[in-house]
C-alpha cells in the first residue's frame, strides 16, 4: 500500500488530495456560516425601530435628536380662510422622541433672516406651531366644532427679542393700560417678558383660537446655519380640556405651520402642511397618515403584495435559521469536488 493512499475496504483514498479537499471544505464551511449569519441579520433585522430616549429634550440642539428618525414635510400657503397668504417656507424637517413620561417634537427649516423684533410697524416675528389631535383625524383648518385641536406655538420674539416682546412701538408716555391694552388685559401674546416660550392653545376652526388655562408645553428655538430649529416638549399626561392625549395605543394626528416674519406672515398668513402625520405613541415614530377615500382595489392589491412579501421573507428566515443539513451537504460537496480535482 502506498504511503500516499489510504485503503478503506475496496476504496483507495489519496492522502494528499484528501488533505487538500479537507482544507477547502473547511474554508467553504466558514463561508457558509458567515453567509448564514449575514442573511439572518438582514431578514430578521428590518428597519431599526425608533428607540425611546432616557431623557426627552426640551432643546433643539440636544444629543437625543442625533439618532431620531426624520421626515421632511412640504408646506404651502394658507388658502382655506382669510387672510390668505404665506407659503414663503417650502418645507420643514420634523422629528419626535418619547419615553415613559414625556414626548417632544423638533422642527427645523430654512430662513435666512432672524426676525425677532416687533418694535415697529410692519415688523413681524418668526414663529412655528404643531397642531395635534388624538383619536380621529381632525379638519386641517384648525379643527371644527366637535373636533377640537391642541396647538403648541412658539414665537422667536418671546425668546430672542432684545426689546419688549409685547411691542415697544406702543410705549407712549401714557399709562400702559391705555397704550398696551393687551398687556393690561393679560393677553398671553402681549406680555412684556416671557419665562416660557411655548404657548398651549385650543381651536375648533379658524377664528376660534383660545389660550388654554393650563400651560404644560415647553418650547425652545435656536438659530441654525441657515434657519431655525425649535423643540416642543410636554409630559404625556395633561389635564387641559382639549390637550392631546399620549395614551398607549391612542392614534395621534399632527401637522405643522411656520411663519416668516420678514415675508410679512402673521396670523392666518403662514406656511402649513395639509398632510397629517401620525405618531406612534409607543416609540415616537412619525408616519404619513392614511388618506380617507382611497382606492380600495389599489389598497387590496398593495395588501396582497405586502402579504406575499411577508410570506416570502418568513420562508427565507425559516430556511436561513434551519441550515444544518444545507451546511453538511455544502461541506461534503466541496470536499468531494476538491478531492476529485486534486486526485492524480
Q: What torsion do the CA atoms of 166, 168, 172, 176 make, to the nearest 10 degrees?
A: 20
CA 308 to chain centre: 28
Higher local confidence (pLDDT), 44 or 62: 62
User: What three-state secondary structure class fits 118?
Assistant: coil
Distance CA 142, CA 276 (A): 12
pLDDT of residue 304: 41
Mean pLDDT, the chain, whole residue set: 80
Helix residue ranges per DSSP H, the chain: 15-45, 156-160, 176-179, 181-184, 296-320, 324-342
pLDDT in tens, 15-36: 777 777 787 778 877 777 766 6
Distance CA 288, CA 278 (A): 6
pLDDT of residue 323: 57
Higher local confidence (pLDDT), 248 or 217: 217
pLDDT in tens, 99-145: 989 999 999 999 999 999 988 889 999 999 999 999 899 999 999 99
pLDDT of residue 319: 47
Distance CA 176, CA 159 (A): 22
pLDDT band at 305 (very low <50, low <70, confident <90, very high): very low
pLDDT of residue 80: 93
Q: Which residues of 169-180 are buried (b: 16+ CB within 10 A; e: fewer)?
A: ebeeeeeeeeeb
- What domains does the chain contain, in order, with CATH numbers? 5-46+306-342 (no CATH), 63-284 (2.60.40.1190)
Tally of CA atoms within 13 A in the half-sphere of 231 that contains its CB: 21
- In contact, 165 and 174? CB cutoff 8 Å: no
Q: What is the average per-residue pLDDT within 301-310?
A: 40
User: E strands within 30-126?
Assistant: 71-74, 76-77, 91-98, 102-110
- Cell 397642531 locates to 131
Distance CA 164, CA 176 (A): 13
pLDDT of residue 166: 55
Q: What is the average per-residue pLDDT within 163-188?
A: 64
Residue 5 in this model has a pLDDT that exceeds 90: no
pLDDT of residue 54: 79
Distance CA 126, CA 52 (A): 31
pLDDT of residue 6: 62
pLDDT of residue 115: 97
Q: What is the average per-residue pLDDT within 240-254?
A: 89
Residue 327 in this model has a pLDDT that exceeds 50: yes
Distance CA 326, CA 53 (A): 42
Distance CA 189, CA 169 (A): 15
pLDDT of residue 253: 96
Distance CA 159, CA 222 (A): 9
pLDDT in tens, 48-98: 333 457 789 999 999 999 989 999 999 999 999 999 999 999 999 999 999
pLDDT in tens, 205-223: 999 999 999 999 999 999 9
Percent above pLDDT 70 for the chain: 74
Higher local confidence (pLDDT), 256 or 120: 256
CA 225 to chain centre: 21
Higher local confidence (pLDDT), 114 or 320: 114
Residue 157 in this model has a pLDDT that exceeds 80: yes
Which pTM was predicted? Answer: 0.68
Amino acid at each position: 500500500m502506498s504511503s500516499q493512499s489510504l485503503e478503506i475496504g475496496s476504496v483507495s483514498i489519496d492522502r494528499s488530495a484528501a488533505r487538500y479537499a479537507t482544507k477547502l471544505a473547511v474554508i467553504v464551511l466558514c463561508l457558509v456560516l458567515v453567509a448564514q449569519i449575514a442573511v439572518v441579520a438582514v431578514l430578521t433585522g428590518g428597519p431599526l425601530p425608533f428607540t425611546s430616549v432616557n431623557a426627552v429634550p426640551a432643546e433643539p440642539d440636544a444629543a437625543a435628536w442625533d439618532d431620531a428618525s426624520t421626515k421632511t414635510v412640504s408646506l404651502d400657503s394658507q388658502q382655506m380662510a382669510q387672510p390668505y397668504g404665506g407659503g414663503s417656507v417650502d418645507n420643514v424637517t420634523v422629528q419626535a422622541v418619547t419615553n415613559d413620561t414625556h414626548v417632544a417634537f423638533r422642527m427645523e427649516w430654512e430662513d435666512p433672516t432672524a426676525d425677532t423684533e416687533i418694535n415697529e410697524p410692519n415688523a413681524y416675528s418668526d414663529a412655528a406651531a404643531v397642531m395635534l389631535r388624538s383619536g380621529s383625524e381632525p379638519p386641517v383648518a384648525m379643527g371644527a366644532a366637535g373636533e377640537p385641536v391642541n396647538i403648541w406655538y412658539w414665537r422667536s420674539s418671546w425668546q430672542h427679542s432684545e426689546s419688549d416682546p409685547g411691542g415697544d412701538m406702543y410705549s407712549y408716555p401714557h399709562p400702559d393700560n391705555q397704550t398696551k391694552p393687551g398687556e393690561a388685559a393679560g393677553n398671553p401674546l402681549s406680555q412684556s417678558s416671557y419665562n416660557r416660550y411655548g404657548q398651549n392653545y385650543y381651536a375648533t376652526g379658524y377664528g376660534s383660537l383660545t389660550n388654554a388655562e393650563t400651560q404644560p408645553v415647553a418650547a425652545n428655538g435656536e438659530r441654525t446655519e441657515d434657519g431655525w430649529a425649535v423643540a416642543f416638549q410636554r409630559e404625556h399626561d395633561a389635564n387641559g380640556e382639549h390637550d392631546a392625549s399620549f395614551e398607549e395605543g391612542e392614534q395621534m394626528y399632527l401637522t405643522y405651520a411656520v411663519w416668516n416674519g420678514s415675508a410679512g406672515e402673521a396670523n392666518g398668513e403662514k406656511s402649513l402642511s395639509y398632510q397629517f402625520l401620525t405618531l406612534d405613541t409607543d416609540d415616537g415614530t412619525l408616519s404619513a397618515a392614511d388618506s380617507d377615500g382611497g382606492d380600495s382595489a389599489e389598497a387590496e392589491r398593495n395588501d396582497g403584495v405586502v402579504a406575499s412579501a411577508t410570506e416570502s421573507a418568513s420562508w427565507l428566515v425559516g430556511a436561513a435559521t434551519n441550515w444544518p443539513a444545507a451546511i453538511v451537504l455544502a461541506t461534503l460537496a466541496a470536499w468531494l469536488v476538491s478531492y476529485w480535482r486534486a486526485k492524480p
